[in-house]
A and B are shown apart, each in its own frame.
Chain A
Amino acid sequence: MASSQHFTHPRMRGWDRLTIGQKRVIWAWGFLAVPILFYAIIRFYPTFTAFYLSFTDWNLLRSPEFIGTANYQRMFADAAFWQVFRNTFAYLIWGTPISLVIAFVISYYLDRVRLMHGFIRALYFLPFLTTAAAMAWVWRWFYQPVPIGFINGMLSSIGLPQQPFLRSTSQALPAIMVTAIWAGLGFQIIIFLAGLRAIPQTYYEAARVDGLGEWAILTRITLPLLRPTTVFLVVFSSIGFLRIFDQVYNMTTNDPGGPLNSTKPLVLMIYQSAFSSYDMGYAAAQTVVLFTILLIVSLIQLYLLRRR
């Protein structure tokens, strides 16, 4: 019987000899090959090309020529680059903790609200669904001077001096950061809420039976058990703030990243170098720096927040 099958299906021979385990491995790799190929071609190949381009003087029109580390030397000697570097970290260092604390506080209390819980949650989530560009333009009008600026109109009506907001080198970055925090809040609240709901109620019941106060419950049970959620949100929102672009660009189109580069993040600088000055080599060098920062920040965060 075995020999007759052998002759009738010669091509099946190799496949049939494999064990179930081996077949599973082949099937798994067969399916995995699709995303791996996709990533290799769409993600990794351009990434490596960017590394190469950062050592060239490519300007879109002329073919790239190798110029060594000239782009990096120019970048590190450029005061504007360091300003942009500081701005990028300002968005990260202020934006991430502030947004997470606010998101946690809101979701902590929202979790206890029963009345119109879904409606309130939807309200918080709404900004996340809105186009960043549209939101940025609305905020841009809020921040205008009188007679059209909403906030300055309110300040003036109660006799306070109007504030320059986006026209100030010191106020512009916080003014933009507020909108970015507000825009990302909905997503963070939803994730925190999911994390809070995943903590078994029995822990809380046991804690209350043992007579623990609210503060002790928060610090001993809620926060430690929320660690995976927090890790995810810290990494996710850090990357978001390091890559901030939409809000800044749309709120400062008349003077992109201004005034005097005070709001310009690295991504906007990359965009201008690449698609306004067509300085592709220089833009690639800036991209490599951004990539390195993202990598280091993510690794540090994963290390600090790892499970002990």
Chain B
Amino acid sequence: MRNFLASSMLTIAAGLVVVPAQAQTVEIEYWQYIFDTRVRAMDQLIERFHEEYPDIRVRQTTFPYADYQTRIVAAHTAGQGPDVVQLFYGWLDNFVAGELIQPLSEARFPAAEIEADFFPIVGAMQRDGQYWGLPTAVRSLALFINNDLFEEAGLDPANPPQTIDELRDAAISAVKYDSAGNITSVGLTLEMGAQDHHWWREGLVRQFGGVPYDDDGNVAYDSDAGLAALEFVTNMQTEDRVGTTGFMDEGQAAFRAGMAAMTIDGTFRLGSFNSISHFNWTVAELPANDDGLRSNYASYFANAIGARAEGERREAAETFLQFLTSPEAMEVWLEVVGELPARREVAQTDKNLTDPVYGPFLAALDYAHTTRFVDEAAQRQVAIDMVNRVVLQNQSPADSLAAAAAAEQAIIDRSR
């Protein structure tokens, strides 16, 4: 009996010693969507973070991309949710309005430092002078070229098209038809539903001398520049016949299968294209206009602090976010996921800039724009329909452009 008592006392005493030690460990939750390389990169980062900060434990929760917002909102309604959460930059207004996230503290994330160290596109995470999140990595667009098809057409893949007119000419040279005139291999993939709507909005409209949106975020592409940009895209399909929407089901499938000489796609496609073994491909910067003006579209998933994190959890969450946006984390992310570092000094090293694959994407970050989407899927649909009306229903580009501008403005107005 005395033994029992003694051992009980010891256990309790041991418990007393252990309990305070456990209390110092803060557990926080990190949420992101399921994408194999992203999850793996985050596992590595969390492991390193645990070594550096043994008193903070990070638990990663993942869910399918399609459930993203519903999951977060459902958890929030139930009084739960992540301490650090990943979100697409375009969802910021929704997340702020829904009180799902809180602004970063100025003390640990000084705005002046962010603006000096990061690429200008992170400005999209700022509202009223406050930053609401920061990305680890960013993505931009580039022109992928199938070397074999290029050479077959008498073009030099080492000398990619430098202007949009050269791009069109190259596509005309590289497209292939069968005896009945059906396209069997496209010169350039033409998919507004994929990345082309970004290229059109932030690339072509600006290169033809316009702007897609005005400073207040209203549609501004219903202009001569917008019309020229739309005609450039639709003419390639109707007159030049360098490709058709839906060829091989989608552009990236056509390129992978070696049936597209060129396609415009993002950094996130590298993972898929890296496994191509039956032909060589190169990456080039998106072509400039005749005046040498280049423009690109960049986007990113940022990490933000969940609204529920308070006190020491908030502290821990900010420590983790600092780690996620550190040069070290960005290098891991580039290596594992293939996405570009969001800090200039990490991204624009000589090694990266001369890298034949990452170089063109990185060069784009200096002149890239981000679109303030209010409902990306619906706004993309407007662009898809704009081209379809011209290509499938022979509507005049001017009328179709005006209809698209009105439809997109209505979406923007409803969000206000």
Contact = CB atoms under 8 A, between A and B. Distances in A.
A259 interface: yes
B246 A166 contact: yes
Nearest to A159: B180
B308 interface: no
A166 B392 CA distance: 12
Contacts of A255: 193, 381, 384, 388
B388 A156 contact: no
Nearest to B100: A61
A306 interface: no
Given A61-B94, A167-B245, A258 B378 contact: no
Interface stretch (B105-113, B118-126, B133-141, B247-255): B247-255
B277 interface: no
Interface string A143-161: 0111110001000100101
Contacts of A275: 66, 70
A255 B378 CA distance: 11
Interface in B50-66: 66
B388 A260 contact: yes
B182 A254 contact: no
Contacts of B389: 260
A168 B70 contact: no
A275 B66 CA distance: 9
B191 interface: yes
A258 B194 CA distance: 15
B186 to A, nearest CB: 11
B365 to A, nearest CB: 28
Residue picked from A147, A162, A276, most chain B C-beta under 10 Å: A147
B259 A147 contact: yes
A145 B69 CA distance: 36
A272 interface: yes
B178 A146 contact: yes
Contacts of B375: 276-277
B98 A60 contact: yes
Contacts of B247: 145
A169 B259 CA distance: 26
A278 B94 contact: yes
Contacts of B184: 146-147
A203 interface: no
B392 A167 contact: yes
A240 B34 CA distance: 33
B244 interface: yes
B1 interface: no
Interface in A239-277: 254-256, 258-261, 272, 275-277
Nearest to B375: A277
Contacts of B248: 144, 148
B6 interface: no
A62 interface: yes
Contact of A167 (B70, B180, B246, B381): B246
A276 B248 CA distance: 26
A51 interface: no
B331 interface: no
B97 interface: yes
B279 to A, nearest CB: 16
A156 B250 contact: no
B191 A254 contact: yes
Nearest to A260: B388
B180 A145 contact: no
A272 B377 contact: yes
Contacts of A166: 246
Given A169-B393, A272-B377, A278 B191 contact: no
A165 B105 CA distance: 55
B175 to A, nearest CB: 13
A277 B377 contact: yes
A80 B180 CA distance: 36
B388 A259 contact: yes
A260 B385 contact: yes
A60 B259 contact: no
Contacts of A146: 178, 182-184
B384 A258 contact: yes
Contacts of A161: 180
Given A167-B392, A275-B70, A258 B246 contact: no
B180 A254 contact: no
A278 B378 CA distance: 11
Contacts of A140: 249
A141 interface: yes
B131 to A, nearest CB: 21
A138 B327 CA distance: 46
A151 to B, nearest CB: 13
Interface string B355-398: 00000000000000000000101100100110011001100000
A60 B69 contact: yes
A275 B182 CA distance: 38
Contacts of A162: 180, 182
B71 to A, nearest CB: 11
B73 interface: yes
Contact of A156 (B178, B377, B384, B393): B178
A260 B393 contact: yes
A261 B392 CA distance: 13
Contacts of A62: 97-98
B336 to A, nearest CB: 28
A169 B392 contact: yes
Contacts of B191: 254
Nearest to B66: A275
Across chains A and B, which 10 residue pairs bring their CB atoms closest together, nearest first? A61-B98, A254-B193, A276-B377, A259-B388, A60-B73, A167-B246, A146-B182, A277-B375, A260-B388, A147-B184
Interface of A: 59-62, 140-141, 144-148, 152, 156, 159, 161-162, 166-169, 254-256, 258-261, 272, 275-278
Given A145-B244, A156-B180, A259-B385, 5 more contacts: A60-B69, A62-B97, A162-B180, A259-B392, A276-B378
5 contacts: A148-B248, A167-B246, A169-B392, A276-B378, A277-B377
